[in-house]
Structure 1
Amino acid sequence: MENPSNCVEKQPGAEIAPNQVLPPAKKVKTSSMDSSFPVLLPEDPCLRMSDTDFEMHVLKALPALVGVENAVGAMHINAGGDSDRASAGITEQKTTGNVFVDALDRAATDPDSEKAHKDEMARQNRMLTTNGGMAYASTQSPLLELFNHVGGRESDCTVKGSLAETLKQAWQIDALMTLKVIWAVRSIHLGKGERKMFYTHLGWLGKHHPRTLLLNLKWLYKPVVKKDAKEREGDKQVIVGKVEKAEGGDGMEVDDYDVTHGSSHGYWKDLLNVLVLSAEDKLDMSDPDQVLLRDHRIPKNSDGSQPQKAKRGGQARRHGGRGRAKVSQEGGKKTPFDLELEQKAASKAAKAQRHEHILNRLATDPFHRALHLTVARLFAEQLRKDMILLESSKTNKEALREISLCAKWAPSLERFHDKYTLIASTIAELLFSDSALDPHSHSETTGYELSREAYLKRAREQYRANTLSPLRKALAIVERDISAKTFSNIEYSHVPSLAMNRYKHLFNENDGPRFMEYLGKVGMGETKISGAVLTPGLLVKTVMSAEGRQENTSLDRTVADMQWKTLVQRIRDSGNLNSAMAVCDVSGSMHSTSYRRDISPLHDAIGLSLVMAEVTQPPFGGRIITFSCDPEIHIIQGTTLTERVENISSASWGYNTDFIKVFRQLILPLAVENKVPPEDMIKRVFVFSDMQFDEADTDESGWCDKVEGNLGLTHQQIVQQEFRKHGYEVPELIYWNLAGNPGAVPVTSQMEGTALVSGQSQVLMKLFLEDGVFGEEEEDDQEDRGEEQGPDVVEGDGDGEWGMIHKERKRKRKGVDPMSILRKLVGNEAFEMLRVVD
């Protein structure tokens, strides 16, 4: 019997001419039940265990690692003492006890002094930048090294080895803090928002501490991050149902840490990405995008041309293959029909090969199997909750607000994540039992038994049609309306920022009047546009790229300007800065885009500097210092992002990175010449750079050419000397590393009055935005008698009872250092639920 989808109904008496082109056959509506996609997975007895039993099973099934602790107590953050001892073990060398004799011994082994100089550099933790500037080889804290590691060359074996060693050392010093640092690297709303680097860290964690990885996955998508004050107005922003320790256990449930309408560190898709990496045996220190972007690349022929692709339903197919042999014999070329058959055969073989690979990974790798089951259970649990909320929304519309984004990111059938893991089969099996799908599937009276493959196909179709589809409709996911071409249904104020960037031209082409009306309302402040989670560098790149194009330039800039205002307002809502200024590196090395696609460190530096200029209070706000060959001060002009970027772009951009000139030729000469009083002097400087500073020239007094061990001063030491020489307090310097590769660092972990930050996210700026108060308050030591003390305070109950007597002591602002900033970040309550179990 012929397939009706391939036939055309003939009219009585009608003849079809040999060369007549027939209209395409009407497509028969199908479902996933009709697909040839392999869906079969073996039944796993662990799938339907209780959470407690499953957790115990996972811990028991995974191989124990030799030499790791099985229990970790309360969080202990080491301020650096253990780190210093670890570093000392690396650089410590034999000594006679006499410095001069030690120098003689080193020189004797290397008459040319080259090795002696290298040894001296290593002994003092020094190295040169790529431009010859003196810097430190490391921060001397593995924890700080880990957080400030910058990505870009994940495929470089040296970089991978260095990162793995840093993770190992950090874990040995403080396992729990290391875990929190790893989560902070991913945290979109509190940390760096890095995806690739986070997956690389998880690769190490999965290899060395797999149980810890599995049991903390849920904290990627749970709403544990409190929103900023202005953002959460009208919402009850408290941790829900946090309970006391229960007898015989910790008493904490997963939902106990949820924040009403809170945010998450990552998103549901992270779980699926990690699972795909594991399925492909690439959950390691390699570049995750080599796997995750695989299906987004179009393969090319050896000559660089695109491969020929058969047109489905083409003329040859409609002719039923007539003439195919003739064409093949005459020209020796394959017909579209031949190509289509070959592609079908190749596709079928590829599907079978992937299926075999999936089954093999689940059967032979205990960690991957545990990860697969864990991810499936987490998705199924949340989808069940969301379906209950969806059902209750029929009588209570507020329930719709409580539906999570799980369905948005849940794996679609036969798409990328399901294609490489078959995770949709496992989720569907959890949601729909065989008896629920067919009550008579095991009936003794009918003698009918549903095969496992048929059952999984039914379950997957139910998952698609009765779970994902209604939930995605309720969530008003923009892609649904784009696919259905129902643009009039899209509520543009609810479109996420990344989706707005991706689809703005599509909105304009298909729903122009309404979309432009929406943008007009945003401009007048009548509605909102998302943009807070975008990076400043991305928006700067958007407006700079628009300069050379005529097409769509206006729309690109308009949307970017509006998203910029949202981004800046989110930072302002967290606080502000006083007496601070941004120093923006515009040298040649900042133009490279090799490490982050088409966004360069220069885009990030300009973007972050402009954010700083907008959130800093007058009179320092609205000003930026740029530097390359020579520093320049810019009073930011313009009201839009486009105008401000154009203003900065007028700076002289050279190929040098002369950081010291910022202070020697600009800040300090102006202060001395104008007799600036200390209270009016700049108090903190944010340096946005790749940190590859030039070699510093000596000043006229020759102060900067020597230090102990005959090594030159670092840039931080030179800045300190310059300010003290002119009688000014040294400002706090925040070095924000935008490099694509790891390298020299300007300061070490315990260097007071400094901070180290890296990455492209403006979110980390919030660490310094507590209404301009930089640092923590601390009480003076009781032994310090030099400070004036306040009066005694008596606390009583007001009824004549004796109260407690406390001394009110003068409080001072505690100076910051790189480790204190890291402690402040990971000390946030949104990280407190993480736990180490192996």
Structure 2
Amino acid sequence: MLFSHLKKWNPKRIFCFLSSDLEQKKSIAPPSPPLLGPPWIHYPDNLPEWFYSSNYPMTYTEKRSPTFLTTGNPCLDFFFHVVPNTPPRSLKHLLCSAWNHDPLTTLKLIFNLRGVRGTGKSDMDGFYTAALWLHQNHLKTLAANVGSIPRFGYLKDLPEILYQLVQGSDMRRKQKAELAKKKKNIKGAKEKPSREDRMMDRSSVPREIRVLESLRRDSMKKLESSRLRRVRRREMARNALDKYSDDQDYRFLFERISDYFAELLKNDMKFYESGELRKVSLAAKWCPSMDCTYDRVTLICESIAKKVFPRELYPEYEGIEEAHYSYRVRNRLRKQVLVPLRKVLESQEVSSAAMSLYKDKFLNARFTKYLEQVKAENPKIDAGEFLPHLIVKSLIKSLKHDCRYGSVQVAELHWKRMVDGLSKEGKLRNCMAVCDVSSSMKKTPFGVALVLGLLVSELSEDPWKGKLITFSEIPVLQTVKGDDLKSKIEFVQKTGWWGMNTNFQKVFDKILKIAVEENLKPEQMIKRLFVFSDMEFDKASAKPWETDYQAIVRKYTEKGYGSALPQIVFWNLRHSTATPVPRNQKGVVLLSGFSMNLLKLFFDSELDMDIDPEIAMEAAISGEEYQKLVVVD
């Protein structure tokens, strides 16, 4: 029945019907795109050979510009893509791939994350995430390198790793979130009752009764707080004992760390008793105190005390119960070791982080007079461990909240100390910074780009000293003006062009336009550009699958400046998968992070201009301390 009506149709009629239907669809369908052929037929004949020979997988940036998916070297991917805001899951994925490729290089890169000196990145949270991954996958390697951790960071890193193993890796993140929530609640607290309402309430109740009621409430709060503290401490102690007894891997690392502290303290006591006070280490300063948070969570003080005062070497402990022995050696460690050694370590110097944190407290103790004295002489405020953007953040916060004069001066002196310290190590020759100020840079990366760009401009030699380029949709070449950090920051903020787009190629279009108009010779061109960005560039090339760097090479070649192509330092500031060039691209460096330490690689042109990303990475982890790291498992 369904097909019976088709018998009435003439075959010619059916063919005409189908033909007309096809013609109608053709008229509706969009026109076919023109054939382009392979990309290389559109390029000039004098481009370098590597331009055509990329076999690495490609993808798109967030803004649809072609980019590489990987450098081709998992270790280099880890070095370039891990930044302070990288999610732990992504960091572990990159770490696992890198370790499978080259364990020793990966171990060096892990410690490079923590490094606050040399060419380290000062990424403390990233290092802790990597250290916990090592504990889970390569415990013996982590334990074998415990002594190297303080040389890249500080001794406090050791109890912090144990703390996170007991409490969980996300505990610090939760604590920061709770603290931010408390601050927000304080700022958004409900308005207090008016003075008239409070007077009415007071008049209805006799003063004696109000005082007694207030004392009763305070007493109840104290009792409840005391009870909750006891409950929390018991829970912490039980968790610490359970972790120590049930987790063999944790116990192995715990004993290694307590051994390390005990050996340092015993050696320090020998130096103390012999009067060689300059040889005393900082072990007493960073050794957890009795009943501090680290001790309550891990119970490490008991272990250290028993190793400093072992029962078999001290006859007075023979025959006494274990609990009494533990109590006595803990107390003895405090009185006879930590207290005298900490007295020796007392100093008038204050670290940069503590100076920033407690500057408002210092203002009440003749601190302003001290700042004036320091300003008149050589700056003696330590800024070695302070990240540049945190200095500027502190300055802006002080100006925003109209803080006292001393708060601004601390930031100014920190900046001066940092610039002077770096200047003594070398200069940046023929260098200029290019700062991404587009909307994709978010909050912190945006500030880091500007501050690192400003730092490069101050460290550069003439004629590029004080100059930088900001770019989003339109690049702007700026000559930074101002005598102090405050005026320089205000100048950059006022004169920059902030936009939604990230047109990276326009920067080089502008450079080439100036070169052609001024008829510059190749040797007069800028030799190195630091690009501080998230690498999420806009699509700006009409040629399919032509990356931004390939487009730059092509444009320089077309204008006759192929031999004057500058070395480009791609400095990644935000977590993304965009990779501008592969591992073996000559004349390009791939860096990342918020620390200025990696700038030292370029002082006085220590790196060749035709360096590739792999060689630059190896240079960053070639220091003496890195040679002491060992892979065991």
1:662 aligned onto 2:491: no
CA distance in 2, matches of 1:458, 1:295: 37
SS at 1:411 equivalent: coil
Report how far residue 305 of structure 1 moved.
Answer: 10
CA distance in 2, matches of 1:386, 1:148: 40
- 1:485-524 correspondence runs (5 A): 491=348, 494-509=349-364, 511-512=365-366, 515-524=367-376
Report how far residue 572 of structure 1 moved.
Answer: 1.7
Letter in structure 2 aligned against 1:506: K
Letter in structure 2 aligned against 1:612: V
Distance 1:608 1:431, change over 3 A: same
- 1:573-612 correspondence runs (5 A): 573-592=424-443, 600-612=444-456
Q: Residue 126 of structure 1 aligns with which residue?
A: 58
Deviation per CA, 1:301-321: give whole Å up to 9, x if none. Answer: 999999xxxxxxxxxxxxxxx
Report how far residue 173 of structure 1 moved.
Answer: 2.2
SS at 2:519 equivalent: coil
1:634 aligned onto 2:478: yes
CA distance in 1, matches of 2:333, 2:484: 47
Report how far residue 724 of structure 1 moved.
Answer: 1.1
Distance 1:362 1:293, change over 3 A: farther
Check whether the contact 2:67–2:580 (CA below 8 A) recurs between aligned residues: yes
1:421 aligned onto 2:303: no
1:184 aligned onto 2:39: no
CA distance in 1, matches of 2:160, 2:303: 16
1:555 equivalent among 395, 403, 406: 406
2:264 equivalent among 378, 382, 386: 382
Report how far residue 296 of structure 1 moved.
Answer: 6.3
SS at 1:624 equivalent: strand
1:543 aligned onto 2:395: yes
Q: Residue 364 of structure 1 aligns with which residue?
A: 246
Check whether the contact 1:186–1:266 (CA below 8 A) recurs between aligned residues: yes
Check whether the contact 1:199–1:288 (CA below 8 A) recurs between aligned residues: no
- 1:317-396 correspondence runs (5 A): 335-393=217-275
CA distance in 2, matches of 1:832, 1:454: 45
1:620 aligned onto 2:451: no
1:163 aligned onto 2:91: yes
Report how far residue 751 of structure 1 moved.
Answer: 1.1
CA distance in 2, matches of 1:303, 1:607: 31
Distance 1:572 1:412, change over 3 A: same
CA distance in 2, matches of 1:580, 1:302: 47
Check whether the contact 2:428–2:459 (CA below 8 A) recurs between aligned residues: yes
2:578 equivalent among 733, 738, 744: 744
SS at 1:547 equivalent: helix
- 1:818-829 correspondence runs (5 A): 818-829=613-624
- 1:469-484 correspondence runs (5 A): 469-476=339-346
- 1:177-256 correspondence runs (5 A): 177-189=105-117, 190-221=119-150
Report how far residue 506 of structure 1 moved.
Answer: 1.0
Report how far residue 142 of structure 1 moved.
Answer: 0.5
Deviation per CA, 1:703-752: give whole Å up to 9, x if none. Answer: x322xxxx33111111111111111121110011111x232121221111
Distance 1:773 1:678, change over 3 A: farther
2:322 equivalent among 449, 452, 456: 452
Q: Residue 758 of structure 1 aligns with which residue?
A: 592
Distance 1:165 1:435, change over 3 A: closer
Check whether the contact 1:200–1:287 (CA below 8 A) recurs between aligned residues: no
Report how far residue 527 of structure 1 moved.
Answer: 5.2
Report how far residue 548 of structure 1 moved.
Answer: 2.0
Deviation per CA, 1:616-637: give whole Å up to 9, x if none. Answer: 1111121111111211111121
Report how far residue 131 of structure 1 moved.
Answer: 2.4
2:526 equivalent among 678, 682, 699: 682
Check whether the contact 1:684–1:731 (CA below 8 A) recurs between aligned residues: yes
Report how far residue 815 of structure 1 moved.
Answer: 1.3
Report how far residue 341 of structure 1 moved.
Answer: 3.5
Check whether the contact 1:533–1:567 (CA below 8 A) recurs between aligned residues: no
Check whether the contact 1:538–1:603 (CA below 8 A) recurs between aligned residues: no
Deviation per CA, 1:787-820: give whole Å up to 9, x if none. Answer: xxxxxxxxxxxxxxxxxxxxxxxxxxx6111111
Check whether the contact 1:412–1:424 (CA below 8 A) recurs between aligned residues: yes
1:724 aligned onto 2:557: yes
1:462 aligned onto 2:332: yes
Report how far residue 639 of structure 1 moved.
Answer: 2.0
Determine which structure has greater relative contact order: mean sequence separation of CA pairs < 8 Å that are 6+ residues apart, divided by chain length: 2
Distance 1:134 1:637, change over 3 A: same
Q: Residue 16 of structure 2 aligns with which residue?
A: none
Check whether the contact 2:305–2:333 (CA below 8 A) recurs between aligned residues: yes
Structure 1 unaligned residues grouped into runs of 5+: 1-112, 114-119, 222-263, 307-325, 394-398, 443-448, 478-490, 593-599, 697-703, 776-813
Check whether the contact 1:629–1:657 (CA below 8 A) recurs between aligned residues: yes
CA distance in 1, matches of 2:412, 2:188: 39
Q: Residue 80 of structure 2 aligns with which residue?
A: 148
Report how far residue 521 of structure 1 moved.
Answer: 2.6
Letter in structure 2 aligned against 1:508: L
Check whether the contact 2:454–2:468 (CA below 8 A) recurs between aligned residues: yes
Letter in structure 1 aligned against 2:508: F
Letter in structure 1 aligned against 2:553: Q
Check whether the contact 2:379–2:416 (CA below 8 A) recurs between aligned residues: no
Report how far residue 371 of structure 1 moved.
Answer: 1.0
Give the structure with the larger helix fraction.
Answer: 2
CA distance in 2, matches of 1:818, 1:566: 31
Report how far residue 543 of structure 1 moved.
Answer: 2.1
Deviation per CA, 1:319-345: give whole Å up to 9, x if none. Answer: xxxxxxx99xxx9x9944444443333
CA distance in 2, matches of 1:765, 1:815: 17
CA RMSD in angstroms comes to 3.0
TM-score for both structures, normalised by structure 1: 0.63
Q: Residue 15 of structure 2 aligns with which residue?
A: none
CA distance in 1, matches of 2:396, 2:355: 18
Check whether the contact 2:81–2:572 (CA below 8 A) recurs between aligned residues: no
CA distance in 1, matches of 2:593, 2:357: 23
CA distance in 1, matches of 2:370, 2:515: 49
Check whether the contact 2:84–2:594 (CA below 8 A) recurs between aligned residues: no
Letter in structure 1 aligned against 2:59: M
Check whether the contact 1:196–1:288 (CA below 8 A) recurs between aligned residues: no
Distance 1:124 1:380, change over 3 A: closer
Check whether the contact 1:142–1:166 (CA below 8 A) recurs between aligned residues: yes
SS at 1:191 equivalent: coil
Q: Residue 166 of structure 2 aligns with which residue?
A: 279
Task: Give the fraction of aligned pairs with identical amino acids, expressed as a percent.
Answer: 33
Letter in structure 2 aligned against 1:658: N
Check whether the contact 1:637–1:644 (CA below 8 A) recurs between aligned residues: yes
CA distance in 2, matches of 1:177, 1:440: 50
CA distance in 2, matches of 1:558, 1:302: 30
Structure 2 unaligned residues grouped into runs of 5+: 1-31, 33-38, 40-53, 190-208
CA distance in 1, matches of 2:272, 2:557: 66
SS at 2:530 equivalent: strand
Report how far residue 672 of structure 1 moved.
Answer: 0.5
- 1:284-295 correspondence runs (5 A): 287=170, 289-290=172-173
SS at 1:148 equivalent: helix
CA distance in 2, matches of 1:418, 1:815: 52
TM-score for both structures, normalised by structure 2: 0.82
Check whether the contact 1:586–1:653 (CA below 8 A) recurs between aligned residues: yes
Report how far residue 153 of structure 1 moved.
Answer: 5.9
Letter in structure 2 aligned against 1:401: R
Q: Residue 278 of structure 2 aligns with which residue?
A: 401
CA distance in 2, matches of 1:716, 1:657: 14
Check whether the contact 1:182–1:201 (CA below 8 A) recurs between aligned residues: yes
Check whether the contact 1:196–1:287 (CA below 8 A) recurs between aligned residues: no
SS at 1:383 equivalent: helix
SS at 1:582 equivalent: strand
Equivalent pairs, count: 559
Letter in structure 1 aligned against 2:353: L
Check whether the contact 1:540–1:606 (CA below 8 A) recurs between aligned residues: no
